[in-house]
């Protein structure tokens, strides 16, 4: 009878097959893709490189580290948290458990915000990113517009630290100032061209019923928008115009659908002009903008 196969004698093909089976049993909907990403992340290579070298074997140490990563994902810990990063608007951002994992739909918020900024001219522009989290929006804006300075604000000091670290890692710290404060409390002396926010917008009663990757691992304070999800958006509608230049614009993300319509109504009732709603890539009305 042959010797037992150790973890370190398993090929990539065998490791991936076993990991996929484990993740499928745990209800992970993208089991094979996640298995590949976990192995690629462990080795510091791309998924394509993993798929092209399926006969390669792992050392026993790396095999055990891979098995641990798979166990974490099977507990429905988000893939991005295990890897420690996520791509957003072409930028790689470091993540911790203090911040939300950036979502692809928020890239459309950045795209609209950039379109609403004045064309490059003779002066520097200023944007305020409220509830910055990982700093994904602030970094994406600053990366695209060299004439733009950004103040990234988050009520959580731990989240603000993550945003600052990402700005530094991306070489953007000279144009991104990070402030730990509640909404606009830390920038009473500034007038901006743009205020952009992806605030907590989920109704409180819905948070516990979300998929485990969100309900168990995302920071609740970054999700819970109060009974109707509109508490923070309502506050912004009431106070943000005071921090904008005359032609300045506020752009916010919502949960979409009826909430986007309700947010637009809040802005209109608060005196914002040219209030508009824009859909995300799935065709769901999600983003709301208004002029000061």
**Cα 102 to Cα 159: distance, rounded to the nearest angstrom:** 13
- CATH class held by domain 87-291: alpha beta
Angle at 259 between CA 255 and CA 264, to 5 degrees: 115
Domain locations in the chain?
7-75, 87-291
Instruction: Using alpha carbons, select from 176, 173, 194 the residue that is nearest to residue 125.
Output: 194
Model confidence, pTM = 0.92
Render each residue's pLDDT in the chain as its tens digit; 292 residues: 333 334 457 899 999 999 999 999 999 999 999 999 999 999 999 999 999 989 998 888 899 999 999 999 999 999 999 999 999 999 999 999 999 999 999 999 999 999 999 888 788 999 999 999 999 999 999 999 999 999 999 999 999 999 999 999 999 999 999 999 998 987 888 899 999 999 999 999 999 999 999 999 999 999 999 999 999 999 999 999 999 999 899 999 999 999 999 999 999 999 999 999 999 989 999 999 999 9
Instruction: Using alpha carbons, select from 132, 39, 26 the residue that is nearest to residue 82.
Output: 39
Q: Structurally, what CATH architecture does the domain formed by 7-75 represent?
A: Orthogonal Bundle (1.10)
What is the layout of strands, in order, in the sheet containing 176-180?
Answer: 176-180, 148-154, 125-130, 192-197, 244-253, 285-291, 273-279
């Amino acid at each position: 009878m042959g010797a037992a196969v150790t973890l370190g004698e398993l090929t990539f093909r065998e490791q991936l097959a076993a990991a996929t089976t484990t993740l499928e049993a745990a209800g992970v909907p993208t089991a094979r893709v996640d298995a590949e990403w976990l192995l690629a992340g462990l080795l510091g290579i791309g998924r394509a490189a993993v798929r092209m070298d399926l006969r390669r074997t792992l050392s026993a140490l790396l095999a055990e580290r891979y098995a641990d990563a798979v166990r974490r994902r099977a507990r429905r810990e988000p893939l991005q948290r295990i890897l420690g990063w996520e791509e957003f608007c072409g930028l790689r951002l470091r993540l911790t458990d203090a911040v939300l994992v950036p979502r692809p739909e928020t890239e459309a918020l950045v795209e609209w915000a950039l379109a609403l900024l004045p064309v490059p001219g003779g002066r520097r522009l200023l944007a305020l990113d409220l509830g910055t989290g990982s700093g994904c929006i602030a970094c994406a804006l600053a990366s695209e517009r060299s004439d733009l300075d950004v103040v990234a604000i988050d009520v959580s000091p731990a989240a603000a630290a993550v945003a600052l670290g990402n700005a530094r890692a991306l070489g953007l710290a000279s144009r991104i100032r990070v402030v730990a404060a509640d909404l606009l409390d830390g920038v009473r002396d500034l007038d901006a061209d743009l205020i952009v926010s992806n605030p907590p917008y989920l109704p409180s009663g819905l948070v516990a019923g979300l998929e485990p990757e969100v309900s168990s691992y995302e920071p609740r304070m970054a999700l819970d928008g109060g009974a109707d999800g509109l508490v923070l958006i309502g506050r912004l509608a009431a106070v943000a115009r005071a921090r904008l230049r005359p032609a300045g614009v506020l752009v916010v993300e919502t949960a979409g659908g009826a909430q986007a319509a309700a947010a637009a109504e809040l802005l209109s009732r608060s005196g914002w002009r040219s209030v508009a709603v824009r859909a995300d890539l799935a065709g769901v009305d999600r983003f709301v903008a208004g002029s000061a």
